[in-house]
């Protein structure tokens, strides 16, 4: 079935069922969460998944020590950064098998119960269904658990991602565009055609899970507070069939989470594939205002900041153009196409690092951007392109890794870029999420073990914000 209709935001939202009393819903959710004794473990395929939470730990490895530390925290939830969006399928499978095995082993030793959330992109890109399939099979093979269903919830209000009548939309100013009609659906590695989430799951699973077998949680049932009806639907799910969640507001997520917790307390087992909104709600994370400069830069510095732009999506390109109007930034193009010529590529990396070093020491904020034209090797070269992109990412990371001067802040634009810089460039093992500098744009405070301890590290997703948001963040942090 093809869905080509773009909707008007105002008309569509006006005609939705009325939102129920939010205070009542929040109280009901708090009551359910109080005795929900499961540790929530979020496997994040890039670091942008913490874009709705604060005060939560992110571990950048899945060693038994890190998993044990996560279970030992008082927080009900912790994140593991897998960075699998930048992996090949084989690497993704291996990593998820390892992660699930370690979690299961530690959980048994610590006698803890847990819920797994596979946090993926709100525009439906990523290694799906590979990641959740591997988690399911690995946990089931080493425990008594059988997963009844998979909850699919890509709603992410801060990024303008809404699911209405089972169709997932991406907001583009005043329009809602079906996800399958956006640039994200044309992704060379993770492309898809379906906007209807049941059909998307059928498409991505090559027909293993049928749209007709999915359970659909409608906005009508959600907003009429028909929680018993929702629980009944969830109790009927079996054979790992898909549960499609319609959501336009956080209150919709809260109501669905109430129903999900009741179903889980009644013995049902689910794996979750979601964007970032679910984690905030099921983790019981309170609202928090946007971060201020004073909260992020606590010690004055004579040094400039560093901005690294790796993402190539349309929104990043628009934001980059706006950033170029900032007269306090020096821009350095990094010619990543030289990756095809190793000797010249090494000289290019060295040039960029030396230039950054010199300018940041002088108090100049620097923006390094990868060449805007994509490296295109032609048809049927996906794996080869991915391997080259890893080499490029390693080179971008080395800019931070080899810096001898501490910038007063770092902004990384793009999910894979920010992951590699955080884990490899900055050497972070555990970070604390300070909150968001703009809606959907998280900030890590780096751990003591990192290259620059206690630094404000802004993780700026490629596909979030308006045309001027990157410029606004740079202006906020500029001293």
The 3-state secondary structure of the chain, one letter per residue? CCCCCCEEHHHHHHCCCCCCCHHHHHHHHHHHHHCCCCEEEEEECCHHHHCCCCCCEEECCCCHHHHHHHHHCCCCEEEEECCHHHCCHHHHHHHHHHHHHHHHHHHHHHCCCEEEEEECCCCCCCCCCHHHHHHHHHHHHCCCCCCCEEEEECCEHHHCEEEECCEEEEEECCEEEEHHHCHHHHCCCCCCCCCEHHHHHHHHCCCCCCHHHCEEECHHHHHCCCHHHHHHHHHCCCCCEEEEECECCHHHHHHHHHHHHHHHHCCCCEEEEECHHHHHHHCCCCCCCCCCHHHHCCCCCCCCCEEEECCCCHHHHHHHHHHCCCCCEEEEEECHHHHHCHHHHHHHHHHHHHHHHHHHHCCCEEEEEECCCCCCCCCCCHHHHHHHHHHHHHHHHHHHHCCCCCCCCEEEECHHHHHHHHHHHCCCCEEEEEEEEECCEEEEECCCCCCCCCCEEEEECCCCCCCCHHHHHHHHHCC
| pLDDT for the residue 198 | 98
Tell me: do 349 and 253 sit in the same domain. no
Query: Is residue 1 domain-resident?
Result: no
CATH of the domain at 173: 3.40.50.10840
228 and 196 inside one domain: yes
Instruction: Give the pLDDT score at 2.
Output: 46
> Is 253 inside any structural domain?
yes
**In this predicted structure, what is the pLDDT of residue 155?**
98
In a domain, 175, yes or no: yes
From CA 235, how far away is CA 286, in angstroms rounded? 29
Handedness of CA 410, 413, 418, 421 (dihedral sign): negative
35, 157: one domain = yes
Whole domain around residue 365: which residue ranges? 293-477
Same domain, 277 and 305: no
Domain-ending residue, one of 247, 282, 317: 282
287 belongs to a structural domain: no
Q: Give the residue from 282, 313, 340 where a domain finishes.
A: 282
Residues 255 and 360 in one domain: no
Is residue 156 situated within a structural domain? Answer: yes
Distances from the Cα of 207 to the Cαs of 192, 317, 455, in angstroms? 14, 36, 46
Per-residue pLDDT of the chain (479 residues; tens, 9 = 90+): 445 689 999 999 999 999 999 999 999 999 999 999 999 999 999 888 899 999 999 999 999 999 999 999 999 999 999 989 888 899 999 999 999 999 999 999 999 999 999 999 999 999 999 999 999 999 999 999 999 999 999 999 999 999 999 999 999 999 999 999 999 999 988 999 999 999 999 999 999 999 999 999 999 999 999 999 999 999 999 999 999 999 999 999 999 999 999 999 999 999 999 999 999 999 999 999 999 999 998 888 899 999 999 877 788 889 999 999 999 999 999 998 888 899 999 999 999 999 999 999 999 999 999 887 766 666 766 677 777 777 888 898 999 999 999 999 999 998 778 888 999 999 999 999 999 999 999 999 999 999 999 999 999 988 888 999 999 999 999 86
Same domain, 319 and 212: no
Distance CA 201, CA 179 (A): 13
* Domain finish residue from 282, 309, 334: 282
404 within domain boundaries: yes
Do 302 and 248 have their domain in common?
Answer: no
Shared-domain flag, residues 274 and 300: no
Closest of 328, 335, 330 to residue 349, by C-alpha: 335
pTM summary value: 0.90
Domain match, 297 and 152 both: no
Q: Are 104 and 39 in contact (CB under 8 A)?
A: no
CATH code where residue 382 lies: 3.40.980.20
Residues 60 and 184 in one domain: yes
- Cβ pair 170, 176 in contact under 8 A: yes
Residue 247 lies in a domain: yes
**Residues 268 and 320 occupy one common structural domain:** no
> Torsions phi, psi of 445, nearest 5?
-105, 115
If one counts the domains in the chain, the total is 2
Residues 253, 311, single domain; the answer is no
Query: Does the residue 2 lie in any domain?
Result: no
């Amino acid at each position: 079935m093809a869905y080509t209709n773009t909707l008007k935001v105002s008309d569509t939202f006006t005609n939705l069922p009325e939102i129920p009393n939010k205070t009542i819903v929040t109280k009901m959710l708090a009551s359910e969460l109080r005795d929900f004794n499961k540790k929530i473990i979020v496997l994040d395929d890039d670091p942008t998944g913490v874009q709705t939470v604060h005060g939560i730990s992110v571990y950048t490895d899945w060693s038994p020590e890190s998993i044990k530390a996560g279970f030992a925290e008082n927080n009900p939830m912790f994140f593991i950064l897998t960075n699998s969006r930048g992996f090949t399928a084989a690497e993704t499978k291996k990593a998820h098998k390892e992660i699930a095995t370690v979690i299961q082993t530690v959980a048994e030793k610590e006698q803890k119960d847990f819920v797994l959330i596979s946090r993926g992109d709100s525009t439906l890109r990523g290694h799906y269904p590979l990641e959740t399939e591997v988690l399911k099979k690995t946990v089931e093979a080493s425990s008594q658990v059988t997963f009844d269903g998979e909850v699919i919830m890509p709603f992410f209000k801060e990024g303008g991602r809404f699911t209405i009548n089972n169709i997932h939309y991406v907001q583009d100013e005043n329009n809602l565009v079906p996800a399958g009609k956006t640039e994200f659906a044309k992704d060379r590695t993770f492309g898809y055609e379906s906007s209807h989430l049941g059909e998307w799951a059928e498409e991505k699973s090559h027909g293993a899970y049928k749209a007709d077998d999915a359970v659909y949680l409608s906005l009508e049932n959600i907003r009429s507070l028909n929680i018993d009806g929702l629980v009944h639907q969830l109790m009927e799910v079996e054979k790992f069939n898909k549960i499609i969640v319609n959501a336009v507001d956080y209150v919709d997520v809260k109501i669905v989470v109430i129903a999900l917790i009741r179903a889980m307390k009644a013995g049902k087992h689910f794996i979750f594939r979601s964007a970032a909104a679910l984690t905030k709600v099921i983790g019981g994370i309170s609202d928090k205002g946007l971060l201020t400069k004073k909260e992020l830069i606590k010690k004055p510095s004579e040094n400039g900041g560093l901005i690294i732009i790796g993402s190539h999506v349309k929104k990043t390109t628009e934001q980059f153009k706006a950033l170029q109007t900032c007269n306090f930034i020096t821009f350095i193009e990094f010619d990543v196409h030289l990756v095809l010529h190793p000797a010249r590529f090494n000289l290019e990396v060295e040039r960029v690092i030396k230039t950054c070093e010199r300018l940041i020491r002088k108090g100049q904020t620097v923006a390094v951007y990868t060449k805007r034209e994509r490296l295109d090797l032609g048809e049927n070269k996906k794996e080869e392109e991915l391997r080259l992109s890893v080499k490029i990412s390693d080179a971008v990371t080395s800019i931070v890794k080899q810096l001898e001067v501490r910038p007063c802040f770092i902004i990384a634009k793009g999910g894979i870029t920010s992951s590699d810089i955080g884990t490899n460039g900055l050497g972070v093992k555990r970070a604390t999420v300070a909150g968001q500098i703009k809606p959907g744009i998280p900030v890590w405070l780096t751990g003591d073990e990192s290259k620059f301890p206690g630094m404000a590290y802004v993780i700026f997703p490629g596909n979030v914000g308006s045309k001027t948001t990157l410029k606004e963040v740079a202006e906020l942090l500029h001293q």
